[in-house]
Amino acid sequence: SKTLKEAYKNYFPIGVAVAPRNLSGPEAELITTQFSSITPENSMKMGPIHPEPDRYAWEQADAIVAFAQKNGLKVRGHNLCWHNQSPKWFFTDNDGKQVTREVLLDRMKEHINAVAGRYKGKVYVWDVVNEAVPDTSESIYRKSKFYEIIGEDYIEKAFEYAHAADPDAKLFYNDYNTESAKKREKIYQLLKKLKAKNVPVHGVGLQGHWSIYEPTAADLEKSITQFASLGLEVQITELDLSVYPKEHERRAKKSTDEGVLTPEMVTKQTAQYKMLFDVFRKHKGTITSVTFWNVSDKSTWLDNFPVPNRKDYPLLFDENYKLKPAFKQVVDF
Do the Cβ atoms of 9 and 332 come closer than 8 Å?
A: no
Instruction: Report if residue 41 touches ligand G3I, rule: CB under 6 A.
Output: yes
Q: Is 179 a catalytic residue?
A: no
Instruction: Report if residue 42 touches ligand G3I, rule: CB under 6 A.
Output: yes
Instruction: Report if residue 21 touches ligand G3I, rule: CB under 6 A.
Output: no
Query: What x/- string results for residues 239 through 278 when contact with ligand G3I is judged by CB under 6 A?
Result: ----------------------------------------
Residue 37 β-bridge partners: 15, 74
Instruction: Report if residue 179 touches ligand G3I, rule: CB under 6 A.
Output: no
- For ligand G3I, the closer of residues 24 and 84 by Cβ is 84
Instruction: Report if residue 135 touches ligand G3I, rule: CB under 6 A.
Output: no
CB of 111 to ligand G3I, least distance (A): 17
Instruction: Report if residue 303 touches ligand G3I, rule: CB under 6 A.
Output: no
Do the Cβ atoms of 34 and 44 come closer than 8 Å?
A: no
CB of 237 to ligand G3I, least distance (A): 8
Instruction: Report if residue 238 touches ligand G3I, rule: CB under 6 A.
Output: yes
- For ligand G3I, the closer of residues 55 and 97 by Cβ is 55
CB of 285 to ligand G3I, least distance (A): 25
CB of 84 to ligand G3I, least distance (A): 5
CA distance 112 to 80: 6
- Residue 317 φ/ψ, nearest 5 degrees: -115, 140
Q: Of 102, 238, 249, 319, which is the active-site residue?
A: 238
Contacts made by residues 97-106, CB under 8 angstroms, sequence distance 24+: 98/149, 99/149, 100/149, 101/149, 101/150, 101/151, 104/146, 104/149, 104/150, 104/154, 105/150, 105/154, 105/157
232, 234, 237, 242: CA torsion to nearest 10: 140
CA distance 319 to 301: 14
CA distance 58 to 159: 22
How many residues of this chain interact with ligand G3I, rule: CB under 6 A? Answer: 9
Closest C-alpha among 160, 122, 131 to residue 39: 122
Catalytic residues, by residue number, are 238
List contacts with ligand G3I (CB under 6 A): 41-42, 84-85, 130, 176, 207, 238, 301
